[in-house]
Amino acid sequence: MPAPLERIALISDVHGNLTALEAVLDDIGARGVRRVLNLGDYVGKGPRGREVIDVCRERCEVNLLGNWDDFLPDPDRTHDSEALSWWLGQLSEGQGSWLRGLPFSHDFLVSGRRVRLFHASPASVHRRVRFDHDESEFLEMFANTPATGDGPVPTVVGYGDTHDAYYEVDRERRTLFNTGSVGNSLDDPTPVYVIVEGVVGSTADAPFSLQFVRVPYDVEAELAVARETGMPEFDGYASELRHGIYRSDAANGRSPRYHRRGPDVTAS
């Protein structure tokens, strides 16, 4: 008999949007998926970083470090902006240390493929790789670095950071994908996450799939919380959540920098 397939949900970039997180976790649970791995960026941009951290600590089997999680609670960094100081002030005692102590990456086997997850790139949570990268950037995503450690190199890499879901393969069967963002999805503002399905822990080839899932939620309810709590940069946040237009692009009249390529996502 073939080995049973298992599904694992991957979420990223919740950014203090508790309403979106709860909608996504409800969808994951309704599908019978029990394992949830989080690729980072719990805080900033949205109003409820403290609550998001509490939920993710309870619900996520793995929590990884994001760029906001690293720099926002950095005790050696001075935040001279009202918004950054406000988001930092929303954290409970000990949450900043928890964020900065999160692991950088996570590896596991599924259907004969070694999957590696991290937030932005194998070099740093602050090194951004966009969807329109070149071939050298693609290959660099599969390399071992001091941050990821030594060992077998991955054949499948998943990351977040850019809020831009996509899927890419090459002729060597290397697979690169971006989970998109749960709490701050751009272009299409509907929260998106990924389900990995295969024989978990197996070194033998077996069926393997990645599914992108978009989950509608009550945007106005989350914006009401942001308004009521007096969160800075509210207009920019509302533009992102309602229209998927990045706040700096909207402020400067630029075309959005985020685009999606790859297979159609599954709406739910």
Q: What is the mean pLDDT of each run of 10 residues along the chain (268 residues)?
A: 90 98 98 98 97 98 97 88 94 97 98 97 91 83 95 96 93 94 94 98 95 98 97 95 82 48 37
- pLDDT confidence of residue 249: 62
Position 37 scores a pLDDT of 98
Sheet strands side by side (includes 105-110): 105-110, 113-118, 156-159, 175-178, 166-169
Residue 162 CA to residue 246 CA, distance in Å, equals: 11
pTM over 0.85: yes
Distances from the Cα of 223 to the Cα of 50, 76, 89, angstroms: 16, 32, 19
Ordered domains of the chain (ranges, CATH) = 6-267 (3.60.21.10)
